Structure 1
Amino acid sequence: MKDYQHIYFIGIGGIGMSALARYFNHNGYKVSGYDRTETPLTRTLESEGIVIHYEDEPKKVPSDVKSTLVVYTPAIPKEMRELIFVRDQGYEIMKRSQVLGLISRTKQCIGIAGTHGKTSITTLAAFIMHQSKVGCTAFLGGISKDYGTNYLLPNEGSNIMVVEADEFDRSFMQLSPDTALLTSMDADHLDIYGDDSTIKKTFESYLDMVPSTGFVVYKKGIQIKEKKATCYSYSLHDNKADFFASEISVKEGGYHFNIHTPMGVIEGCRFTYPGEVNLENCIGAVAVSILNGVTKEEIKNIIPAYQGVKRRFDVQYDNNEVKYIDDYAHHPTEIKATLNSIKTLYPEKKITGIFQPHLFSRTNDFYEGFGESLSMLDSLILLDIYPAREKPMDGVTSKLIYDHCNAKKKCIITKKDVLKALDSEHFDILVTLGAGDIDTLVQPIRDYLERDA
């Protein structure tokens, strides 16, 4: 990396790409890039001194081929003009995952993997370690509400790197994890993996990369093969796990509990981030933190201050009568976990959900599961599919999900009609769900609720 002066990102506004851009910007490189649309995240990058443009224009690529490294995301279409240009001109080109892998080889790497929950655990583990004497640098898959960024600068003297290990495009196989945590191995990204067994084999291969001196941490109930690393399980309730919680109660706006570890019990813990799914994520984050040198006393003192991740059970509005929660859930299992958490925290409350399906392929693979999960709602407002990197598939629309959902009330509308649709809704809890551009509705919905209060 030292031979390069300029790092150019094609798709710089992606959550993983922007974290890398911040890493290189902090380390003194000239950083610039392209993205399709301007977003709050790209505007923040620009405020940090990173130059970004929003048109596919090869002339905007840095002209010095030898001193420029081009980093791209697989989500970029192959026919994009800038991508074709840098290939034809002989620029050094790497995928985001390759660059992240190179960085991980210079650090003691903690990689958090799994089809669900990895962003939440990565962000909390990074928060714990960054606040402790151990320290870390971190590449997150979401925006930390504590730090307002998806990249944490390294603490002085720390060589630990906490990173979200993304299974998309088999990206995590580029990492060199010394500690690996696995949250789940549910089927997803079947457009890449083909079938359930292949994705499970790939997760196993990821865990196999951890050396005998390292640690594998996995959610209790996942069946993994024997590993050369030392293995530990975690769970919220299962006392047969190596790390688990007991004496859980909800009071004073948070969870109170004990954490059982192989190193002893951490008594009197408090965690204020809502949702049982997040409490279980906390146990996983505590496990990798303790295994990498954070003390039990530090754990107890640090976790109450954690504020969470944007778009992960993110309470956007609460006037004691109506609550509005925004969540990134975009897989049937994630939606079920989020809605279960809402129902546990707010029993007997009427819930309206706005869901934007993400990808035609994912909708085609899981429309029955989406319908089942969304049937937990009292009312469903279903939006059109967000295509992201994909082109339409014949016969695949939101209607597939609609037909398999048994919510008492349901409708399919366009995104621009959401606020009008809310006029006819009667709810105690409103939740937006999805990984596309549904986040652009968050502020308008907040404004709508504040006007209506």
Structure 2
Amino acid sequence: MELKDIKAVYFVGAGGIGMSAIARYFLKKGLVVAGYDKTPSTLTRQLEKEGMLIHYEEDINQIPHACKQSQSCLVIYTPAIPQEHQELCFFRENGFEIQKRAQVLGTLTRQHKGLCVAGTHGKTTTSTMCAHIMHQSHLDCNAFLGGISKNYGTNYILSDSDFVVIEADEFDRSFHWLSPFMTVITSTDPDHLDIYGTKEAYLESFRHYTELIQPQGALIIHRGLEMKENLPEGVRRYDYALNEGDFHADNIRIENGEITFDFISPVESVKNVRLGQPIPINIENAIAAMAMAQLAGCTAEELRYGIQTYRGVDRRFDFKIKNDKLVFLSDYAHHPKEIYQSAKSIKELYKNRKITAIFQPHLYTRTRDFYKDFADALSQLDEVILTEIYPAREQPIPGVTSQLIYDNLRPGIEKQIIRKDEVLELLKQRTFDVLIVLGAGDLDNQVPQMTQILNSKL
């Protein structure tokens, strides 16, 4: 079904953050947008205010008339919805076009010029940076992001631009639905081995992704990755890294909490770029984002202004308290390489202060596969407090607990394991110098209460 043929869109599972961005895209296009979700939330209530029709019981009779026309209604579902769901069965049995979120994003990359960012880590920050640069430039863009941009308070940007910035997710091979005009690949450290099975299959998935780039497009790949791309004829190839590559940084200055560098580019170099979110790991992310925006047509001044005014992403190196007495932040890092980079950055920023991490491991399979790497990454810090594993979609695996990480931390490091429900009490009893909460689970839900507790003691 072509976008021009769609008159209504129905969401089976409307309340997810990724689904809501697509719902808003179609609302802006003036279509009938409706859907089902299991429970009301702040997000679904906001969507209702914006014009989406949502109900909260499995009930075919509550599906609007416009969404019962198979020739003009697109159905979008989340895999979290059971296949036997009454409404999903109705659409399946009546010949509706039914797509996953990733398929819809793929359609958008064929209708627009898709600027995509893939990689094991760094993709949310890099895509959000690129979207901000593009949105405040003369080109503008649409964007569907994997986190809440602090500049916009949302995970989407909608405009009449021909460009769309998309975070290309490798989980479940979702990014194979895309047809990028240009793409950045930030990293290919193996992850999601519960899906892929082997490192080789993971790398092959990225190789196939590069085959999907449109002719006359471009690949911007981090130098030194293990994967081997396979580019269609006519696709330009560039590489980047911190200090080398077609795109890189020079004259890096880190002082008084500010980071400034020169952006070196084969198109046009840009001097004195100041990071709006001054974190060392963001230098490379900025290089990749600026490279793609520049190749799309942004000017040197638009690149400089975009990076200077970038404010970050919720849960990505997200400072909650920052003063001489205490620094407290949360970070979504949940892969060993992410934690390594996060720990490295915070050590560079706070060289002479004691750094404590509270880490909630994410997934039994990931802990089983990488517990030694987690321990090595966390061992850069002065103190590590572990909680139980967040299971997400998984069942427990015998013998796989946080103890595996604990036992492999470097000798001499301060360490303990506590339950997640003991964290707030620990913060009431202890004092900290620099404290970071790490992980992609639900411990982050307690960060507002943690902030309140820590602030009350200052």
> Same fold, TM exceeding 0.5?
yes
- Tell me if structure 2 keeps the 8 A contact 1:65–1:89: no
Which position in structure 2 is the counterpart of 1:206? 209
Which position in structure 1 is the counterpart of 2:308? 304
Q: CA deviation at 1:126?
A: 0.6
Q: Give the secondary structure class of the aligned counterpart of 1:105.
A: helix
Counting only pairs closer than 5 Å after superposition, residues 360-371 of structure 1 correspond to structure 2 as: 360-371=364-375
Counting only pairs closer than 5 Å after superposition, residues 72-221 of structure 1 correspond to structure 2 as: 72-78=77-83, 83-84=88-89, 86-88=91-93, 90-154=95-159, 156=160, 158-221=161-224
1-structure distance, mates of 2:21, 2:217: 26
Q: CA deviation at 1:53?
A: 5.3
2-structure distance, mates of 1:75, 1:191: 17
Q: TM-score, normalised by structure 2?
A: 0.91
- When residues 85 and 47 of structure 1 are mapped into structure 2, their CA distance, relative to the original with a 3 A threshold, is same
Q: Give the secondary structure class of the aligned counterpart of 1:7.
A: strand
Counting only pairs closer than 5 Å after superposition, residues 270-309 of structure 1 correspond to structure 2 as: 270-309=274-313
Q: Give the secondary structure class of the aligned counterpart of 2:392.
A: coil
Which position in structure 2 is the counterpart of 1:439? 444
1-structure distance, mates of 2:60, 2:397: 30
Q: Give the secondary structure class of the aligned counterpart of 2:154.
A: coil
2-structure distance, mates of 1:288, 1:266: 14
Deviates most, 381-390 or 59-68: 59-68
Name stretches of at least 5 consecutive residues in structure 1 with no aligned partner.
none
- When residues 107 and 434 of structure 1 are mapped into structure 2, their CA distance, relative to the original with a 3 A threshold, is same
1-structure distance, mates of 2:110, 2:406: 46
- When residues 367 and 102 of structure 1 are mapped into structure 2, their CA distance, relative to the original with a 3 A threshold, is same
- Tell me if structure 2 keeps the 8 A contact 1:8–1:62: no
- When residues 200 and 163 of structure 1 are mapped into structure 2, their CA distance, relative to the original with a 3 A threshold, is same
1-structure distance, mates of 2:363, 2:374: 13
2-structure distance, mates of 1:295, 1:143: 26
- Tell me if structure 2 keeps the 8 A contact 1:32–1:50: yes
2:454 is aligned with 1:452: no
Q: Give the secondary structure class of the aligned counterpart of 2:454.
A: helix
Q: CA deviation at 1:45?
A: 3.5
1-structure distance, mates of 2:400, 2:298: 48
Q: CA deviation at 1:23?
A: 1.1
2:24 is aligned with 1:22: yes
Deviates most, 443-452 or 282-291: 443-452
Deviates most, 81-90 or 17-26: 81-90
- When residues 405 and 371 of structure 1 are mapped into structure 2, their CA distance, relative to the original with a 3 A threshold, is same
Q: Give the secondary structure class of the aligned counterpart of 2:431.
A: coil
Deviates most, 318-327 or 218-227: 218-227
Deviates most, 131-140 or 389-398: 389-398
1-structure distance, mates of 2:36, 2:440: 21
2-structure distance, mates of 1:338, 1:139: 24
Which position in structure 2 is the counterpart of 1:230? 236
1:384-411 Cα distance to aligned partner (Å, 9 max, x none): 2222222333333333333333472333
Q: CA deviation at 1:78?
A: 4.5
- When residues 451 and 71 of structure 1 are mapped into structure 2, their CA distance, relative to the original with a 3 A threshold, is same
Q: Give the secondary structure class of the aligned counterpart of 1:180.
A: strand
Deviates most, 356-365 or 281-290: 356-365
1-structure distance, mates of 2:405, 2:42: 30
Task: Report the residue type matching 2:384 in the other structure.
Answer: L
1-structure distance, mates of 2:212, 2:272: 36
Q: Give the secondary structure class of the aligned counterpart of 1:280.
A: helix
Q: Give the secondary structure class of the aligned counterpart of 2:277.
A: coil
For these two proteins, the number of residue pairs brought into alignment is 449
Q: CA deviation at 1:332?
A: 0.8
Query: CA-atom RMSD, angstroms?
Result: 2.4
Q: Give the secondary structure class of the aligned counterpart of 1:150.
A: strand
2:404 is aligned with 1:400: yes
Which position in structure 2 is the counterpart of 1:356? 360
1-structure distance, mates of 2:394, 2:137: 42
2-structure distance, mates of 1:118, 1:145: 16
1-structure distance, mates of 2:34, 2:381: 43
Q: CA deviation at 1:83?
A: 4.4
- Tell me if structure 2 keeps the 8 A contact 1:359–1:385: yes
1:82-138 Cα distance to aligned partner (Å, 9 max, x none): 545654565432111111111111011111101110010000001101111111111
Q: Give the secondary structure class of the aligned counterpart of 2:320.
A: strand
Q: TM-score, normalised by structure 1?
A: 0.91
- When residues 37 and 281 of structure 1 are mapped into structure 2, their CA distance, relative to the original with a 3 A threshold, is farther
- Tell me if structure 1 keeps the 8 A contact 2:257–2:349: no
Match for 1:336 among 334, 340, 343?
Answer: 340
Deviates most, 187-196 or 5-14: 5-14
% identical aligned pairs: 48
Task: Report the residue type matching 1:442 in the other structure.
Answer: V
